[in-house]
Amino acid sequence: MASDDAAAVGVVGGWASPFVMRVCVALRLKGVAYEFLQEEPGKKSELLLASNPVHKQIPVLLHGGRPVCESLVILQYVDEAFSGARPPILPADPYDRAVHRFWAEYADAKLPMALRTLRGMIDGDKAAAAEQVAAALAQLEEAFTACSKGQRFFAGDDIGFLDIVLGSYVGWFRAAERITGQTVLDEMRMPRLAAWAARFCGHEAVRDVMPDAGRLVEFGEALRAALAANANAQRM
């Protein structure tokens, strides 16, 4: 990527990461063309280490060669830096913005570790993890009812910040359902959220970057095997 081009946009990421998907959806919503810089699973490129030396994690947004890290920070940056003709990603009202940020942080606090446990990526109590995901989704069903006020998405009739944050986990909910054989997004217990998830996945900014559940399951298995092989090699 030409770092001296002030307009060039790149995403350092991996196709299977929910955090990376958020950035791609936001850029697509804004109509911003970007180069996807795929990291090799289980490894960290020089570009990643140089552009996110603190956390060494994906995603990193590169804008004119300057890095922006952490998916929630990136979403807000994209909203401000590409404010042009497309509607804002965050709600206009400061109180609504605070509420949406609250639920986004809630989702990120409750879901990723429990989903990693369900997928077998980390050791832990799978039944407790399933309960934690179910309890969080029940809360988020209520949040959806309160925030959407009968509209199609959290902030109205198009997708916005909270849709992108929570929606990025939908592929992994479906992968976890395949791995455990148990329903995660239960249409009986959370009918509004289940219908919202289907709408989110069908949105034109999401469709092409929402990972397929079967591919995610295969990816998880391959990554687990590669990490185990690495750990064994280090012990030798």
Ligand X SMILES: N[C@@H](CCC(=O)N[C@@H](CS)C(=O)NCC(=O)O)C(=O)O
Q: Which residues bind ligand X (CB under 6 A)?
A: 17, 19, 56-59, 70-72
**Non-local CB neighbours of 157 within 8 Å, separated by 6+ positions:** 151
Rounded (10°) CA dihedral 148, 184, 219, 214: -90
**Non-local CB neighbours of 225 within 8 Å, separated by 6+ positions:** none
Residue 112 CB, nearest distance to ligand X (Å)?
7
Residue 58 CB, nearest distance to ligand X (Å)?
4
What is the rounded CA–CA span in Å between residue 160 and residue 80?
Answer: 14
What's the angle, vertex CA 161, arms to CA 156 and CA 57, rounded to 5? 165
**Which residue, 40 or 80, is less far from ligand X as judged by CB?**
40
**Which residue, 10 or 148, is less far from ligand X as judged by CB?**
10
Please give the structure tokens belonging to residue 134. Answer: 């179910």
Strand, helix or coil for residue 153 = strand
Residue 115 CB, nearest distance to ligand X (Å)?
10
Residue 74 CB, nearest distance to ligand X (Å)?
7
**Which residue, 69 or 194, is less far from ligand X as judged by CB?**
69
Residue 71 CB, nearest distance to ligand X (Å)?
3
The number of residues in the chain equals 236
**Which residue, 70 or 186, is less far from ligand X as judged by CB?**
70
Please give the structure tokens belonging to residue 132. Answer: 């934690």
What is the rounded CA–CA span in Å between residue 159 and residue 142?
Answer: 18
Residue 188 CB, nearest distance to ligand X (Å)?
30
**Which residue, 14 or 91, is less far from ligand X as judged by CB?**
14
Residue with tokens 């799978």: 126
What is the rounded CA–CA span in Å between residue 205 and residue 109?
Answer: 25
Tally of CA atoms within 13 A in the half-sphere of 155 that contains its CB: 26
**Which residue, 59 or 160, is less far from ligand X as judged by CB?**
59
